[in-house]
Amino acid sequence: MKIITAKTAGFCFGVKRAIDIAFRMAREKCEGVYTLGPIIHNPQVVEKLKEKGIVPIEEVNTKKDVKALIIRTHGIPLNLSKKIVSKGCEIIDTTCPFVKKAQYYAKLLSEEGYQIVILGEKNHPEVKSLKSYANNDAIVTDGKAPLMKLKTKVGIIVQTTQTLEALKKVLSDALEHAKEIKVYNTICNSTAIRLKETEKMAGEVDVMFVVGGKNSANTTQLTKLCKSLSVPTYHIETSSEIRKEWTEGAKKIGITAGASTPDWIIKEVQKRIRYIGG
Amino acid sequence: MKIITAKTAGFCFGVKRAIDIAFRMAREKCEGVYTLGPIIHNPQVVEKLKEKGIVPIEEVNTKKDVKALIIRTHGIPLNLSKKIVSKGCEIIDTTCPFVKKAQYYAKLLSEEGYQIVILGEKNHPEVKSLKSYANNDAIVTDGKAPLMKLKTKVGIIVQTTQTLEALKKVLSDALEHAKEIKVYNTICNSTAIRLKETEKMAGEVDVMFVVGGKNSANTTQLTKLCKSLSVPTYHIETSSEIRKEWTEGAKKIGITAGASTPDWIIKEVQKRIRYIGG
């Protein structure tokens, strides 16, 4: 049995940066430091941080000893930032620089008078943060249903983990209504490259393992892609979920992982497959 | 035999405006007034104007008694305007207001630092004029060949007679390269509506007649559309071209015409078909 792992599997630039900052805070034993919500969409990493003393809290008010809040990679809404600051709490901002860029463009388009359309998942924290920079009156679309009732001047930004195909569709839709469109393609390259490598791999193997948080948008996207290519695909968070029968008869097994999946989990998955395969 | 004529056949707003101005000059017997090139792409109208004393000249220098030049609906390059003015010659500008708008956007995008892409026919006077407003360094594409080597910041404008489908394609192409795109959909609505009505009509008749200048881009586009729908289609400039055998056996005949085709030519075509049909 041959096991191949995608070169692009695991932490992207933004996630690596955020996790490095958080673990440094843990190492330095900074007191009163919390993450606001999970720092990334990977429960195992969040758990490990907890063990080191960096605990996530869901709301700004829940702990009295909060001195500093680590802002997750996906970013937070603008007025939440203001609220944190107004409480005299320090912000340790690990928002991905690419998300920051998208936030900036949302603000710019809004100031320039464009009706803003965000291509993304309505309930994703990144999209919620982007929306706040667009005065909270942006239209959010997942690119499936056609856009309705747009104004003549439309500005488009994109959740960093979306696909170019989806953006093309939204843009075509918007052209049916708007006379002036300004679009910032804020799709993160690493997402596109990871999807491309995964697509190629899925066509060459008998079974695909997609490793990452069940709550991770980009990991779920990888799973959907593999399944659409009719290769048996398993989305797992850790190696403990792997069942022996999944790999029976498989000659070539592919492993890919989302942007928020740490190396040590990927290595455990490789080890476990090798173990049951042998 | 039933003959139906498209409601949208013939002069659009911009052409009607230009022709009204030119014939008024003729009626008022203004001396030394010429059109720079054909005022519209219809040889019969140009001929009629000539009879009334408004003659087209190809270059600014060819006649010594030129006092005023009527600028065609398609517009002229910016430095040509300057040249005319510098010669002390008056400009009577009948550039279509929609083309004027596209010229303005070309200038604006250029000033804002965008690399400009014009969707249009390279050698069409309108496109040549648009290009001049974009500092003459715009890329012109007919939307067929994919766009290559674009910069990260791209501005798109469109020849007024292009289709929305072609614009969608160019935009999708541009997204493969650029990170920021600003597009002004300068397609004239009347073109889109005329194409739509013609498409519907072509599906319901046995023969289509498309009336208009052989040098008219939008008339040629109507012909191409009908031919692509497999209905026998004849592009004619005047009724004298119609052959009896073209309508033999036809129960329903459709007539459409380009934006530069005058009413009297359409009426002659209706009359001639009725005559040979009866």
Here the CATH number for the domain that contains residue A130 is: 3.40.1010.20
Residues A195, A144 share a domain: no
Token readout for B24 is 């008024």
**Predicted pLDDT at B122:** 93
Query: In this complex, is the C-beta atom of B111 within 8 Å of any C-beta atom belonging to chain A?
Result: no
A171–B172 CB contact, under 8 Å = yes
What's the CATH number where B77 sits?
3.40.50.11270
End position of a domain, from candidates B142, B157, B187: B187
The residue range of the domain holding A219 is 2-10+190-277
pLDDT by position in tens, chain A (length 278): 899 999 999 999 999 999 999 999 999 988 899 999 899 889 999 999 999 999 999 888 777 789 999 998 999 999 999 999 998 899 999 999 999 999 999 999 999 999 999 999 999 999 999 999 998 889 999 999 888 889 999 999 999 989 899 999 999 999 999 999 999 999 998 988 999 999 999 999 999 999 999 989 889 999 999 999 999 999 999 999 999 999 999 999 999 999 999 999 999 999 999 999 75
Residues A272, A195 share a domain: yes
B185–A164 CB contact, under 8 Å = no
Query: In this complex, is the C-beta atom of B180 within 8 Å of any C-beta atom belonging to chain A?
Result: yes
Three-class SS of residue B252?
strand
Buried b (16+ CB within 10 A) or exposed e, A182-219: bbbbbbbebbeebbebbeebbeebebbbbbbbeebbbb
Distance CA A49, CA A52 (A): 5
The single residue of B47, B111, B126, B245 carrying the catalytic annotation is B126
Percent of chain B with pLDDT over 70: 99
Residues B163, B130 share a domain: yes
Residues A178, A162 share a domain: yes
A197 is catalytic: no
Residues A273, A216 share a domain: yes
Angle separating helix axes A78-86 and A125-133, nearest 10 degrees: 90
Distance CA A35, CA A16 (A): 16
Residues B110, B92 share a domain: no
**A-contacting residues of B 188-247, CB under 8 Å?**
none
Residues A111, A41 share a domain: no
- Write the burial class of residue A57 (CB in 10 Å: 0-12 exposed, 13-18 middle, 19+ buried): middle
Distance CA A95, CA A14 (A): 8
Residues A112, A89 share a domain: no
Residues A269, A194 share a domain: yes
| Residues whose CB is less than 8 angstroms from the CB of residue A207 and which lie 6 or more positions away in sequence, other chains included | A231, A232, A233, A234, A246, A247, A250, A253, A254
**Residue A168: its chain B contacts at CB < 8 A?**
171-172, 175
Q: Give chain A's length.
A: 278
Query: In this complex, is the C-beta atom of B185 within 8 Å of any C-beta atom belonging to chain A?
Result: yes
Three-class SS of residue B54?
coil
Q: How confident is the model at residue B278 (pLDDT cuts 50, 70, 90)?
A: low
Distance CA A131, CA A77 (A): 8
**Predicted pLDDT at A212:** 95
> Least CB-CB distance to B168: which of A175, A178, A179?
A175
Residues A125, A57 share a domain: no
Is the pTM higher than 0.90? no
**Residue B179: its chain A contacts at CB < 8 A?**
184-185
**Residue B171: its chain A contacts at CB < 8 A?**
168, 171-172, 175
Query: In this complex, is the C-beta atom of A165 within 8 Å of any C-beta atom belonging to chain B?
Result: no
Mean pLDDT across B118-146: 93
Alpha helix locations (H) across B97-255? 97-111, 125-133, 164-175, 189-202, 217-228
Above 90 in pLDDT, residue B198? yes
End position of a domain, from candidates B149, B171, B187: B187
End position of a domain, from candidates A131, A155, A187: A187
Number of domains chain A contains: 3
Residues A260, A212 share a domain: yes
Query: In this complex, is the C-beta atom of B20 within 8 Å of any C-beta atom belonging to chain A?
Result: no
Query: In this complex, is the C-beta atom of A12 within 8 Å of any C-beta atom belonging to chain B?
Result: no
Residues A202, A130 share a domain: no
